[in-house]
Amino acid sequence: MGLLGIVGLALLLVQFLLIARAVLDWSAVLAGPAVPGSFRSRLAGGVFAVTEPILAPVRRVLPPLRAGGLSIDLSFIVVFFAVTILRELI
């Protein structure tokens, strides 16, 4: 496996982590916040710790879109599509 293969694998992992973050965000919305110390809480903490350094710089440039009581994180969408495009180019 060459360098491009490793980069492609890393980008795939980032995509999976972003999807996991979206699922965990929605689970918190639908099922309520996780009990501290639970598996879901520990999993969310780990996923957020890895994905937040990727999303935060984009979020500073492109803040969430507010529509009434709803907030859409545009940084997530931009990063996910950027990773997808990079994977396709590799």
> How does pLDDT run across 21-75, given as a tens digit for each residue?
999 988 887 877 778 888 888 999 999 999 999 999 999 999 988 888 888 889 9
Which residues make Cβ contacts (< 8 Å) with residue 79, sequence separation at least 6?
Answer: 18, 54, 55, 58
> Among residues 47, 26, 45, which one has the least CA distance to residue 35?
45
Among 10, 23, 88, smallest CA distance to 54 is for 10
Name the residue ranges covered by the structural domains of the chain: 3-89
Residues in the chain: 90
In 3D space, the residue among 90, 62, 65 whose CA is nearest the CA of residue 79 turns out to be 62
The predicted structure's pLDDT at residue 69: 84
The predicted pLDDT at position 32 comes to: 77
